[in-house]
């Protein structure tokens, strides 16, 4: 499951000199990196370092101030890019789950793909059941979000994103709002996804997940990528003083 | 005892007078809330619009109409506007049509400002994460609004609209000053005929209370029904 050494595998996202400012606050400062198909990359770093902002720039939930983000070779920062079509390619999972409170589980899964004509209602339902079965929640298809535990909600949020057949899955601290006993069930689903070859970018505080599941880890601090290395190397031989002190605090 | 006997006497003699007043009060209140809600929905959209001048205008409207007395707005529309050449037409088959229109327009414009705030706060009370999730799936802002946000906001908005109707029933008593034959106007009429000032006013108060109390019970009942269906 570790690093994929095959360099022929195509690059799916390339970020060049990405900068993001909120008013005068420089949150991302000249970030350049790239992600390959099937790669699983963790993003770690101190609070306020810009991890969420980085992730949100990738699906244009934030508009980059300058720089370029190539997805499948197209710069999505250019004018004229269909933002909604781009977002269909990028599944997003939130810390707070954000399941639609006014819909039951099956509706949560099928509403967007059916509305966006990705599939018919029957196809969506069939796909929904298949995916729910895979995360062990087939029996919850008629439940409403308030009837579910945090871990169940997050597994369903992952399924909801998968319904769109995304090319990349973005996770923003998917286990941070969970009670400890529910973290495992969500990480298991993510681990399976990684094993199936999904391209994943995961902002996380779960250092074990970063080390064991992701092939590469980025350390983002103060808007800079301080280190960007294969995960084992980053955790076993941290170089920058900031990373060393960060790891001392969290491990 | 004497007091109650007088009230009963007034009601039996002038009952249809009061009834007509109640009818007019309800008609005006209902129209004000219906038009106020339609206009208020648009006003709320303008108030939350991305277009700055539109947002600014809507905010100014809302602040102005909530910040000045309805009495002033009403008399301005009925007495002031005709002076600059704007007046409501008379229609032969409805007596006092222009008077009535002025009342409905003033009440609607006023209610619009309150309803706009009710709708805006109802929408903004929905967790922003809901819209965010919709957008992340590739849905447009409009689709996220109609599929996800509004169905949740409506549960905040409907009870508040019910309360707005109750407020309007009470506030509508000011239309009596421009001569619309509502409950308050009829009360004043009976008062002038019978000189039973206290009894006439008490009768009006009781009728207003019965109206608002009935509707507030209805609103509470509807609210409970809605909460029963789903929690958030
Ligand atoms: N919409 C916004 N407007 C203004 N400032 C913002 C906005 N979003 C984020 N910021 C600021 O940008 C900086 C980076 O925020 P970001 O949420 O990306 O950090 P993070 O690394 O995800 O932190 P955490 O671990 O706490 O989630 C912070 O200083 C934050 O206050
Ligand atoms: Mg964050």
> Tell me, what's the pLDDT at A1?
40
Cα angle for residues A132, A138, A140 (degrees, 5° grid): 110
Q: What is the pLDDT of residue B210?
A: 96
Q: How far is the CA of A187 from the centre of ligand 2 (A)?
A: 18
For B98, the domain range is: 2-174+185-227
Enter the tokens of residue A152: 């169940």
Q: Is residue B232 part of a domain?
A: no
Rounded CA-CA distance A214/A208 in Å is: 10
Q: Which atom of ligand 1 is nearest to the CA of A95?
A: 27
- What is the share, in percent, of chain B residues with pLDDT greater than 90? 79
Q: Quick one: tokens of A214?
A: 């992701």
Q: Specify the ligand 1 atom closest to the Cα of A205.
A: 25
Residue A43 scores a pLDDT above 50: yes
H or E element in which residue A116 lies? none
pLDDT computed for residue A2 by the predictor = 43
d(CA A25, CA A46) in angstroms, rounded, equals 17
Residue B9 within a domain: yes
Q: Region B129-155: what's the mean pLDDT?
A: 95
Which residues lie closer than 8 Å to A7 by C-beta, 6 or more apart? none
**Is residue B79 included in any domain, yes or no?**
yes
Mean pLDDT computed over A123-138: 97
Query: Does residue B209 lie in a domain region?
Result: yes
pTM over 0.80: yes
pLDDT of residue A3: 43
Mean pLDDT score, B112-116: 96
User: Mean pLDDT, chain B, as a whole number?
Assistant: 92
Sign of the dihedral through C-alpha B46, A115, A175, A14: negative
Q: How confident is the model at residue B89 (pLDDT cuts 50, 70, 90)?
A: confident
Q: How many domains does chain B have?
A: 1
- Return the half-sphere exposure (C-beta side, CA atoms, 13 A cut-off) of residue B86: 9
Contacts of residue A218, Cβ cutoff 8 Å, sequence gap at least 6: A33, A41, A42, A43, A44, A45, A225, A227, A228
DSSP 8-state code for residue B165: H
Q: What is the pLDDT of residue B230?
A: 56
**Domain assignment present for B179:** no
Q: Going edge to edge, which strands form the sheet with A224-230? A: A90-93, A168-172, A199-203, A40-44, A216-221, A224-230
Question: Which residues on B lie below 8 Å from A100 (Cβ)?
Answer: 130, 133-134, 147-148
* A-B C-beta contacts closer than 8 Å: 67
Whether residue B180 lies inside any domain: the answer is: no
Question: What dihedral angle (degrees, nearest 10) is formed by the CA atoms of A191, A151, A142, A158?
Answer: -40
Q: Is residue B200 part of a domain?
A: yes
- State the pLDDT confidence band at A9, using cuts at 50, 70 and 90: low
Query: Cα-flanking dihedrals φ and ψ of residue B54, to 5°?
Result: -65, -45
> Which carries the bigger pLDDT value, residue A147 or residue B226?
A147
Say yes or no to pLDDT of A203 above 90: yes
* pLDDT score recorded for residue B228: 59
Report, as an integer, the average pLDDT of B144-148. Answer: 96
Q: What is the pLDDT of residue B232?
A: 47
Q: Which pLDDT score, from 0 to 100, does residue B226 have?
A: 76
**pLDDT the model gives residue A7:** 46
Reported as a pLDDT band with limits 50, 70 and 90, residue B86 is confident
A4: confidence class by pLDDT, cuts 50, 70, 90: very low
Instruction: Starting from the CA of residue A47, give the closest ligand.
Output: 1
Q: What distance in angstroms lies between residue A54's CA and the mean position of ligand 1's atoms? A: 10
User: What gap in Å lies between CA A13 and CA A168, rounded to an integer?
Assistant: 9
Residues of A whose CB is below 8 A from B135: 61, 87
Can you give the CATH number for the domain in which B190 is found? 1.10.3720.10
Quick one: pLDDT band at residue B82, thresholds 50, 70, 90?
A: confident
């Amino acid at each position: 499951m570790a690093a994929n050494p095959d360099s022929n595998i195509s690059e799916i996202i390339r970020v060049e000199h990405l900068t993001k400012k909120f008013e005068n606050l420089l949150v991302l400062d000249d970030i350049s990196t790239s992600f390959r198909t099937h790669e699983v990359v963790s993003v770690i770093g101190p609070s306020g370092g810009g991890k969420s902002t980085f992730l949100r720039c990738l699906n244009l939930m934030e508009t980059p101030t300058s720089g370029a983000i190539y997805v499948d070779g197209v710069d999505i920062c250019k004018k004229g890019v269909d933002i909604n079509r781009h977002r269909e390619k990028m599944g997003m999972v939130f810390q707070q789950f954000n399941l639609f409170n006014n819909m039951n589980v099956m509706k949560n899964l099928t509403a967007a793909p059916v509305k966006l004509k990705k599939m018919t209602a029957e196809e969506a339902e069939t796909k929904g059941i298949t995916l729910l079965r895979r995360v062990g929640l087939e029996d919850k298809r008629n439940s409403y979000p308030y009837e579910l535990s945090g871990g169940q909600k997050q597994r369903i949020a992952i399924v909801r994103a998968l319904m769109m057949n995304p090319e990349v899955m973005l996770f923003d601290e998917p286990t941070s709002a969970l009670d400890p006993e529910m973290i495992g069930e969500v990480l298991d689903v993510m681990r399976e996804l990684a094993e199936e070859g999904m391209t994943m970018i995961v902002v996380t505080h779960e250092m074990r997940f970063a080390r064991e599941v992701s092939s590469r880890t980025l350390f983002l601090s103060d808007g800079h990528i301080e280190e960007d290395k294969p995960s084992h190397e980053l955790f076993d031989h941290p170089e920058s003083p900031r990373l060393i002190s960060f790891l001392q605090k969290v491990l | 005892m004497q007091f109650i006997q007088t009230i009963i006497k007034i009601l039996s003699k002038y009952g249809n007078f009061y009834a007509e007043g109640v009818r007019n009060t309800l008609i005006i209140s209902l129209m004000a809330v219906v038009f106020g809600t339609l206009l208020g929905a648009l006003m709320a959209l303008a108030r939350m619009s991305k277009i700055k001048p539109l947002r600014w205008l809507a905010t100014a409207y809302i602040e102005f109409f909530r910040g000045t007395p309805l009495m002033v707005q009403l008399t301005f529309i009925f007495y002031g506007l005709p002076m600059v050449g704007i007046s409501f037409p008379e229609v032969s088959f409805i007596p006092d049509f222009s008077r009535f229109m002025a009342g409905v327009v003033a009440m609607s414009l006023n209610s619009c400002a309150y309803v706009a705030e009710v709708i805006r706060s109802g929408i903004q009370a929905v967790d922003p994460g809901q819209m965010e999730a919709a957008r992340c799936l590739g849905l447009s802002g409009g689709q996220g609004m109609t599929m996800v946000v509004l169905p949740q906001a409506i549960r905040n908005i409907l009870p508040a609209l019910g309360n707005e109707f109750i407020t309007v029933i009470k506030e509508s008593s000011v239309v009596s000053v421009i001569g619309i034959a509502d409950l308050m106007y009829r009360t004043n009429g009976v008062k002038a005929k019978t000189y039973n000032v206290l009894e006439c006013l008490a009768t009006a108060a009781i009728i207003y209370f019965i109206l608002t109390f009935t509707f507030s019970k209805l609103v509470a009942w509807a609210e409970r029904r809605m909460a029963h269906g789903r929690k958030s």
